[in-house]
Amino acid sequence: MLSHGQDPATAAVLLIGDELLSGRTRDINLQQIATYLAPLGIPVRECRTVPDIEDEIVAAVNALRAKYTYVFTTGGIGPTHDDITADAIAKAFGVGISEHPEVTAMLAERYATMGTEYTPARRRMARIPHGASIVANPVSGAPGFQTENVFTLAGVPQVARAMLEDIGPRLETGAVVHKVTIRGVSLREGDIAEPLGQLAKDMPEVSFGSYPWFRAVGDNGVHLRLLSMVPGGWRQWRSPRRLDPSRRTDRHGRGETLRHH
């Protein structure tokens, strides 16, 4: 837990791969990393996507690691020629890179058990920047690694998610974010924009978001999402009914429903 007076922990995600930028592959790693970190009080503040170009990876890593508490990279640590993330991380930190003896022994044993040749291409997955610590991969064996505040994960979502379990205990957690969702039936964003803006000014400790939906005539409205690191900090907005006194409230599902009359 961060001690009193320290800046809140923050994170950035760096997605690496030509396949993401071309649209051939749909990313879900940002979502699952952010979802994993949120209960730990570590919000994701930025996400970048870069191609398989070493200099661009290096520049992005150096910019993000200087700005945020933690950086999570995904992709580019496999056995193929375009898997260059490990080399880029080493370059970003100004360190060498070579086969990690424990990792190469583990992979050799794993492939022998599978009856699969441990080829030079597969040996690439044992190359770790000097000084980095290993991030376990319980799914397919080949690990990720941690270099100071940068965690390098696989691009395969199932593997990346599994690696987070080994990373979690290493993180200094921040204040837990408390959430509430309000379902505003028949509301329109234009109708609530001004009072919602005033609320945001009056309550800087609460983050307000509005997300409209329209499924059919008569089935429309706005979901209001309130986030606060202060337990119950969002409650003060309700008693004055500050969005509009002509609207009443009732309970609906997990959140609160405001119906416009």
Sheet holding 70-74, edge to edge: 44-50, 11-16, 70-74, 150-153, 144-147, 133-135
**Conformational region of residue 88, where left means phi above 0, alpha means psi within -120 to 50, and beta covers everything else:** alpha
The answer to whether 120 touches 152, Cβ cutoff 8 Å, is: no
Tell me how far apart the alpha carbons of residues 133 and 150 are, in angstroms, rounded to a whole number. Answer: 11
Which of these, 182, 233, 229, 173, lies nearest to 210 by C-alpha position? 182
Q: Tell the residue number behind the tokens 């508490």, with chain if given.
A: 69
Structure tokens belonging to residue 127: 């190359």
pTM (2 d.p.): 0.76
Q: What is the dihedral of CA 26, 29, 31, 33, to 10 degrees?
A: 180
The terminus-to-terminus CA distance of the chain in angstroms comes to 47
Domain ranges across the chain: 11-170, 178-259
Mean pLDDT for the chain overall: 85
DSSP 3-55: PTTSPPP-EEEEEE-HHHHHTSS---HHHHHHHHHGGGT--EEEEEEE-S-HH
Q: How confident is the model at residue 147 (pLDDT cuts 50, 70, 90)?
A: very high
pLDDT value of position 164: 96
Q: How confident is the model at residue 239 (pLDDT cuts 50, 70, 90)?
A: very low
Query: 149-186: per-residue pLDDT in tens?
Result: 999 999 999 999 999 999 999 999 876 667 788 888 88
Q: Tell the residue number behind the tokens 């994701």, with chain if given.
A: 44
Does 241 score more than 80 pLDDT?
A: no
Question: What Rg, from alpha-carbon coordinates, does the chain have?
Answer: 23
C-alpha to C-alpha distances, 27 to 2, 21, 81, 111, nearest whole angstrom? 31, 10, 21, 29
Fold category of 11-170 in CATH: Molybdenum Cofactor Biosythetic Enzyme; Chain A (3.40.980)
Does 4 score more than 90 pLDDT?
A: no
Task: Please list, in sequence order, all residues whose beta carbon lies within 8 angstroms of the beta carbon of residue 215, skipping any fewer than 6 positions away.
Answer: none
